[in-house]
Amino acid sequence: MLGGAVVATKALNPTPTTTTTTATQLGPTMRRVTLDIDGVKRDVIVDNRESLWETMNFQLGLSNSNLGCDRAQCGACAVNVDGKAVNGCTILSARMGRGQKITTVAGLATGPGVSGLHPVQRSFWLNGGFQCGICTRGFIMSTVALLRTIPNPTDVQIAEGLSGNICRCGEYAKVFTSVKTAAAELRGEKVTYLAKPIFVDVVAPAQPPPAAAGTSKAFDFATPFATIEDFDTFIEPLKKRDGILDISGSERTITVKWDPAKLSEQQVRDLLSSLGRAVK
Amino acid sequence: MARLEAVRVAQDAAYAASLSDADWYALSQDPDWQQLVAEQSELLTNVLEVHGHKLPGASLAASTQNELPPVGPFKIVGTDVARLQGLGVVTSLGQYTENMRMPGMLFMRTLRSRYPHAKIKSVDISKAEKLPGVRKILHRGNLPDVYKDVFLGAANPTRFLFSEEVFEVGAPIAVIAADSEHIADEAMRQIDVQYEVLPAALDMLEAMKPSTQKQFPNQLDGTIIAVTPPLVRGNPNDTRADATVEAVFHKPIEQHVALELTNSLTYWDNDKLNMTYTAQHAHGTRANLSQALKIPQNKVRVFQPGYMGSGYGYRSGIDLAEVHAALLAKLTGRPIKLNYTRYEDFVTRTHRNEFRDEMKMGVNKDGTIAFGQFKVFANVGAQRAGAANGSWVNMQDLYKIPNLRLEAIDVMTNSYKSGPYRCVSHPNGTFALEVTMEKAAYAIGMDPVQFRLKNLNETGNPDTKKPFSNPGMRDCIDAAANAIGWTAKWHQPKAKEVRPGIFHGIGLAAHTCSHGAGGNPSTGQIVINNDGSVQAISASNDVGGGQRTTMLMIAAESLGVPLDQITITTYVDTDNTTDTGTTAGSQQTNNGGRGMYQAGQDARRQVLDWAARKFKDDAAKKGGTLDVTAADIELVDGNVFVKSSPSTKAKLADVVQFKGGPIHGKSEFIQDTIWERLAWAAHAAEVEVDTVTGTVKITKYVAVHDLGKAINPFASKQQIEGGVVMAVGAALTEELLIDKSTGLPLNPNLLDYKPLSIKDAPLAEVIIVEKPKAYGVFGSHGLGEPPMGPPAPTIVNAVYNAVGVWVTDMPLTRSKLLAALKGG
């Protein structure tokens, strides 16, 4: 015991298995925080040493990411926070309570079965982007983040974007295949896979979301943003404009998808200039 | 009766001779023995020569010639099928052991020795156990008496649950069960341990000297554990040769680095232990736990979820930590969650050991090999183990070497313990032999590919006289040479500077080893339900190679149903399966797969028999007769019909309903012992070597493997291209280091021990050769491990061809290459 006077309304030595406590009963190492995981807000009490992976896996039982090293050296635990791939093992849950949006493999599918999977999930499975699969949840989330900013990546860009994910089974060859096939499907192209699944659908396959017919182009900003938050703020009004279908990008680039029936490329360029950021 | 020590049986002739017949029966069922058979069969050659006839089934096996495999064409075998558990992998649905939790579970942590050799004088847990949230601390002082004599592996040096004398950094001293890992960590820091530090043997060559202090009773010098009786053929010391080449090779310690950290979830249900564990062999784990806890096997249940972050050889059985978890679960009455840290997984589990090879080969100008004198040293770490003579296989079998002397010495040191790691000791043998062969070819001015082809042994084991079955070694070498463009591209060393300071090189290596052969037990079951749906039941653990998918494909093909009519669980539960061997030794295609095949054939026979009876009964009901037997019936795609009159047909469901109960097929199979069952492979590579930076860049890589028959070519190609990445990492970047003054591990983490990332990995072109084997399921020979053999010598040979230096000390780092170029 640590000794010292006991204050009437506050316990000095917390028992971490406490389930219902008021804020005044939390000990010095405990925090209450609301985590937004795959669109669901979860109110949890965490030890301030607890990583996001620990909270999601042990406290919440979500099995949406896997641990490989606990030190941000292997990427197995990668999830997305506000669209960027991060290592869940080295993020403290107690710091995730400011509305950050955490997304994981559990939030990607839009329906049941093979056809309901997100293109990245389906591609990693049917193109053999894994052997044992322990790294795959992390590879999928890193790939989702990569394709958000670079919809048509080269092999070099894929390698750079996934350089933080280790696959010990060594299946990198088919990781490239999986990423490229998924990227093609996300761009609206028809794709085929290397292998067939064994799967008996019990529900009629979900209707795939209508491929948003549109024109997509990546631009470079004439002057890059200082931070990704600035970019995020910039694109908010842009998203609401009529004819703009989808936007992704980073501090330096912006990829816009627009309805060619409503906008031309020059009009998109003019729009960006009028909002304060011309593109090359 | 004291527990039998499998490794001691292999290494100590007197101990082996002292065993009774009952001991030999028991030994054959021991999981440690079975793992040696699967992964390190060479360790057993000598003892089996003398005592093998005492093993159960031996006389039966010798007289058995198993049926030849069917020839095809096949409907399912040979097609590309994605993992049957894939949906679970890419979503959150699949539960890996590390994802699992139970209400009330406690977390376990282990306090471990920081000295490589010490006596534990006292352990004071009084402060630690008062920490809030600490539920139980166990150490030698309060271990229940009944467990004080329990040890794992073989004795001398002995690894008790909590040893009084520890022989390695990381030996367990106390284990803590607490409400969270953070509290357990804090408790560890508050345990007071008094050590008496003892001298440690940290260098293999030093440890072999007579002056090195012994650490266990031993007739050999220093801490030498075993000297294998040399294998001698012909007259190796006195045969003349036109040219003699010599080299010394060194391989460092490599580790599996399975990305799912070893972990388990353990609880007792009444008096029955339940453990979910990252096992490659649920039944073997069950047997290990049963022995350690002194309870019968039916009081232990091991669950392997099928979602498993591999193992690559180090998780067939348990380590001390798993026994500790079982004891903590018993003493606290709570489930115990045990997650190794990456440090613990690196240090306390096993490794591919350090090797040293002294090679001398005599060769004649006409291209024939005159003699070979090969000596292998293995540093087996802090335990009694054997590894050196596992490197003999290709030296013995691959080429015609009429005069041969093979030696093997295993040395104990107070450092990383050896254990099976994907291909075990064979990559070392291939490395040493294939670079020596290359040296010999250049010494007589012969094309290295032609030199190999000229000396190939294509008959069988020259010493035991067992024949090869349809060996594909020549086909593999030809295909590799062809695919890399050998004839057009091979040149003399240092002859092709492609850019200033950067030289092109080309190299090839051949490989053979005993992995993939398959063995006993080969069990499995098929159940056909009354709706015609089929269940395959197998204990073949999936560790990432897609073993469950392969089992399903074999069962479906054998029985005669389409893939969507048959299922197999992702998981293995020892409560409702029979052992079919470890998923190691590349053996599941021929172990578990054989179980599936035989069960399918048995179920098929029963279906045909019942179908005949049904058709006769149908005819009788209509007032006629139909004279048919099972031989007149066919079963294809889940439908039965009379061959001569296909309109007389029925579905599987109809047949089962006619019988009035499920149809149950099972495998009763003993593998024959007629063949020398070997894997065959050849790899080739082009490199560009930068003589300024010392960088080796692989510009083209080709890997050719003879699989007999690829059951799932999609999965087979993955094994090959993944194995190449793993083994190239071992050749270029991986080594586990130790501080020679303190014995402390230097780099047990993923930044300083460097497996290849996607930026470094070579992308191999894979070619599958199929020369069906008489002993194989559908003619197959297992895979998984053989891709690990050729990469190191392929690269070393290519580097020699590029810049004219031999780097025989792995990994081939830039500093070593630059030193060699400077004339070191």
Q: Is the dihedral of CA B642, B648, B651, B652 positive or negative?
A: negative
Q: Does A19 touch chain B if contact means CB atoms closer than 8 Å?
A: no
Whether B147 has a pLDDT exceeding 60, the answer reads yes
Average pLDDT score over residue span B479-497: 98
Whether A106 sits inside 8 A of B91 (CB atoms) is yes
Q: Are the C-beta atoms of residues B803 and B494 closer than 8 Å to each other?
A: yes
User: Domain B97-200+256-348: which topology?
Assistant: Aldehyde Oxidoreductase; domain 3 (3.90.1170)
- Using one digit for the tens of pLDDT, what is the confidence trace for B165-194? 999 999 999 999 999 999 999 999 999 999
- Using one digit for the tens of pLDDT, what is the confidence trace for B508-566? 999 999 999 999 999 999 999 999 999 999 999 999 999 999 999 999 999 999 999 99
Mark which of A86, A103, A120 sits at the end of a domain: A103
Own/partner pairs, A179-182, CB within 8 angstroms, 24+ separation: A179/A120, A179/A123, A179/A129, A179/A143, A179/A146, A179/A147, A179/A153, A180/A153, A181/A119, A181/A123, A181/A127, A182/A119, A182/A120, A182/A122, A182/A123, A182/A124, A182/A143, A182/A147
pLDDT the model gives residue A3: 32
Phi-psi region of B137 (alpha: psi -120 to 50; beta: other; left: phi over 0): beta
CA angle A196, A200, A203 (to 5 degrees): 125
- Using one digit for the tens of pLDDT, what is the confidence trace for B583-626? 999 999 999 999 999 999 999 999 999 999 999 999 999 999 99
Whether A169 sits inside 8 A of B544 (CB atoms) is yes
Domain holding A121, by residue range, is: 108-186
- Using one digit for the tens of pLDDT, what is the confidence trace for B431-471? 999 999 999 999 999 999 999 999 999 999 998 999 999 99
Q: Does A58 touch chain B if contact means CB atoms closer than 8 Å?
A: yes
- Give the A:B interface size as CB pairs under 8 Å: 216
Which chain B positions have a beta carbon within 8 Å of A165's beta carbon? 757-758
- Of A15, A73, A165, Cβ closest to residue B133: A15
Whether B261 sits inside 8 A of A171 (CB atoms) is no
Q: CA of A56 to nearest chain B CA: how many angstroms apart?
A: 10
Backbone φ and ψ of B14, nearest 5°: -65, -40
Residue A91's contacts (CB-CB under 8 Å, 6 or more residues apart) are A51, A52, A81
Domain CATH code at residue A177: 1.10.150.120
Q: Are the C-beta atoms of residues B532 and B653 closer than 8 Å to each other?
A: yes
Do residues A112 and A85 share a domain?
no
List the A253-258 sheet strands across, edge first: A215-220, A253-258, A244-249
Structure confidence at residue A214 as a pLDDT band (50, 70, 90): confident
Look over chain A and give the mean of its residue pLDDT values, rounded to a whole number.
87
User: Domain B525-666: which topology?
Assistant: Aldehyde Oxidoreductase; domain 4 (3.30.365)
Whether B259 sits inside 8 A of A74 (CB atoms) is yes
Task: Locate the chain A residue with the closest alpha carbon to B562.
Answer: A198
- Using one digit for the tens of pLDDT, what is the confidence trace for B560-575? 999 999 999 999 999 9
Q: Is the dihedral of CA A78, A81, A83, A84 positive or negative?
A: negative
Strand partners, B268: B273
Q: Does A94 touch chain B if contact means CB atoms closer than 8 Å?
A: no
Those of residues 749-768 in B touching chain A at CB distance below 8 A are 749-751, 755-759, 761, 763-764
Domain residue limits, chain B: 6-62, 97-200+256-348, 354-409+424-517+674-821, 525-666
Q: CA of A34 to nearest chain B CA: how many angstroms apart?
A: 21
Whether B199 has a pLDDT exceeding 70, the answer reads yes
Average pLDDT score over residue span B77-83: 97
Q: Which two tokens stand for residue A52?
A: 């996001």
Q: Are the C-beta atoms of residues B302 and B245 closer than 8 Å to each other?
A: no
Which chain B positions have a beta carbon within 8 Å of A105's beta carbon? 90-92
Q: Does A66 touch chain B if contact means CB atoms closer than 8 Å?
A: yes
Whether A233 has a pLDDT exceeding 90, the answer reads no
Q: CA of A25 to nearest chain B CA: how many angstroms apart?
A: 16
Classify residue A235: in a domain, yes or no.
yes
Which chain B positions have a beta carbon within 8 Å of A1's beta carbon? 130, 132
Q: What percent of chain B has pLDDT over 70?
A: 99
Q: Are the C-beta atoms of residues A128 and B82 closer than 8 Å to each other?
A: yes
pLDDT the model gives residue A12: 40
Which chain B positions have a beta carbon within 8 Å of A193's beta carbon? 82
pLDDT the model gives residue B32: 92
Classify residue A210: in a domain, yes or no.
no
Q: Does A103 touch chain B if contact means CB atoms closer than 8 Å?
A: no
Structure confidence at residue A213 as a pLDDT band (50, 70, 90): low
Average pLDDT score over residue span B278-284: 97
Whether B680 has a pLDDT exceeding 90, the answer reads yes
Q: Does A63 touch chain B if contact means CB atoms closer than 8 Å?
A: yes
Whether B732 has a pLDDT exceeding 80, the answer reads yes
Average pLDDT score over residue span B661-666: 98
Do residues A36 and A95 share a domain?
yes
- Decide which of B728 and A207 is more confident: B728
Q: Based on C-alpha coordinates, what's the Rg of chain B? A: 28
Whether A130 sits inside 8 A of B179 (CB atoms) is no
pLDDT the model gives residue B506: 98
Residues in chain B: 824
Whether B342 sits inside 8 A of A64 (CB atoms) is no
Classify residue A269: in a domain, yes or no.
yes
Whether A134 sits inside 8 A of B259 (CB atoms) is yes
pLDDT the model gives residue A207: 52
Do residues A173 and A233 share a domain?
no
- Using one digit for the tens of pLDDT, what is the confidence trace for B362-382? 999 999 999 999 999 999 999
Which chain B positions have a beta carbon within 8 Å of A135's beta carbon? 259
- Decide which of B303 and B60 is more confident: B303
Whether B89 sits inside 8 A of A130 (CB atoms) is yes
Best A198, A201, A202 member to test B by mutation, with max B CBs in 10 Å, is A198
* pTM (two decimals): 0.91
Q: Does B276 touch chain A if contact means CB atoms closer than 8 Å?
A: no
Q: Does A30 touch chain B if contact means CB atoms closer than 8 Å?
A: no
Nearest by Cα to B756 from A180, A67, A162: A162
pLDDT the model gives residue B439: 98
Q: Which two tokens stand for residue B269?
A: 């249900």
Those of residues 31-50 in A touching chain B at CB distance below 8 A are 47, 49-50
CA dihedral of B17, B19, B24, B28, whole degrees rounded to 10: -90
Q: Does A12 touch chain B if contact means CB atoms closer than 8 Å?
A: no
Best A58, A136, A168 member to test B by mutation, with max B CBs in 10 Å, is A168
Whether A125 sits inside 8 A of B258 (CB atoms) is no
Which chain A positions have a beta carbon within 8 Å of B131's beta carbon? none
Domain CATH code at residue A56: 3.10.20.30
Structure confidence at residue B60 as a pLDDT band (50, 70, 90): low
Average pLDDT score over residue span B210-232: 94
CA dihedral of A173, A179, A183, A185, whole degrees rounded to 10: 90
* H/E stretch holding A247: strand A244-249
Whether A67 sits inside 8 A of B724 (CB atoms) is no
Those of residues 337-366 in B touching chain A at CB distance below 8 A are 339, 341-342
Domain CATH code at residue A251: 3.30.70.100
**Beta strand B263-269 with B696-706: parallel, antiparallel or unpaired?**
unpaired
Structure confidence at residue B748 as a pLDDT band (50, 70, 90): very high
Q: Are the C-beta atoms of residues B164 and B141 closer than 8 Å to each other?
A: no
Mark which of A87, A103, A119 sits at the end of a domain: A103
Average pLDDT score over residue span A128-134: 98
Q: b vs e for A46-72, b when ≥16 Cβ sit within 10 Å of the residue's Cβ?
A: bbeebbbbbbbbbbbebbbbbbbbbeb
Q: CA of A88 to nearest chain B CA: how many angstroms apart?
A: 14
Whether B228 has a pLDDT exceeding 60, the answer reads yes
Structure confidence at residue A202 as a pLDDT band (50, 70, 90): low
pLDDT the model gives residue A257: 87
Whether A13 has a pLDDT exceeding 90, the answer reads no
Backbone φ and ψ of B819, nearest 5°: -65, -40
Whether B96 sits inside 8 A of A66 (CB atoms) is yes
> Could you give the CA distance from residue A74 to residue B575 in angstroms, rounded to a whole number?
35
For residue B590, the 8-state DSSP code is: T
Whether A211 has a pLDDT exceeding 90, the answer reads no
pLDDT the model gives residue A15: 44
- Using one digit for the tens of pLDDT, what is the confidence trace for A239-279? 888 889 888 888 888 989 888 888 999 999 999 999 888 99
pLDDT the model gives residue B1: 46
Q: Are the C-beta atoms of residues B176 and B188 closer than 8 Å to each other?
A: yes
Whether B344 has a pLDDT exceeding 70, the answer reads yes
Catalogue the E-assigned strands of B180-271.
192-197, 224-233, 243-251, 263-269
Whether B417 has a pLDDT exceeding 80, the answer reads yes
Count the domains in chain A: 3
Q: Return the minimum-mean-pLDDT range out of A239-253, B217-231, B317-331, B632-646.
A: A239-253
Whether B714 sits inside 8 A of A195 (CB atoms) is yes
Those of residues 157-196 in B touching chain A at CB distance below 8 A are 179-183
Q: Does A158 touch chain B if contact means CB atoms closer than 8 Å?
A: yes
- Of B83, B96, B724, Cβ closest to residue A125: B83
Do residues A115 and A182 share a domain?
yes
Whether A22 has a pLDDT exceeding 70, the answer reads no
Do residues A171 and A240 share a domain?
no
- Using one digit for the tens of pLDDT, what is the confidence trace for B704-728? 999 999 999 999 999 999 999 999 9
ipTM of this predicted complex? Answer: 0.96
Q: CA of A35 to nearest chain B CA: how many angstroms apart?
A: 18
Whether A198 sits inside 8 A of B750 (CB atoms) is no
pLDDT the model gives residue A20: 42
Whether A209 has a pLDDT exceeding 90, the answer reads no
* H/E stretch holding B808: none
Same fold for the domain at B354-409+424-517+674-821 and the one at B525-666? yes
- Of B718, B751, B759, Cβ closest to residue A163: B759
Do residues A143 and A116 share a domain?
yes
> Could you give the CA distance from residue B484 to residue B503 in angstroms, rounded to a whole number?
17
Q: Does A134 touch chain B if contact means CB atoms closer than 8 Å?
A: yes
> Could you give the CA distance from residue B398 to residue B459 in angstroms, rounded to a whole number?
10
- Using one digit for the tens of pLDDT, what is the confidence trace for A50-63? 999 999 999 999 99
Three-state SS annotation for A119-142? HHHHHHHHCCCCCCCCCHHHHHHH
Mark which of A88, A103, A118 sits at the end of a domain: A103
Q: Does B126 touch chain A if contact means CB atoms closer than 8 Å?
A: no
Q: CA of A201 to nearest chain B CA: how many angstroms apart?
A: 10
Do residues A79 and A122 share a domain?
no
Whether A167 sits inside 8 A of B758 (CB atoms) is yes
Whether A19 has a pLDDT exceeding 50, the answer reads no
Q: Mapping DSSP to helix (H, G, I), strand (E, B) and coil, where does residue B533 land?
A: coil
pLDDT the model gives residue A8: 37
Class in CATH terms, B354-409+424-517+674-821: alpha beta
Whether B99 sits inside 8 A of A63 (CB atoms) is yes
Q: CA of A221 to nearest chain B CA: how many angstroms apart?
A: 28
Which chain A positions have a beta carbon within 8 Å of B93's beta carbon? 63
Which chain B positions have a beta carbon within 8 Å of A160's beta carbon? 759
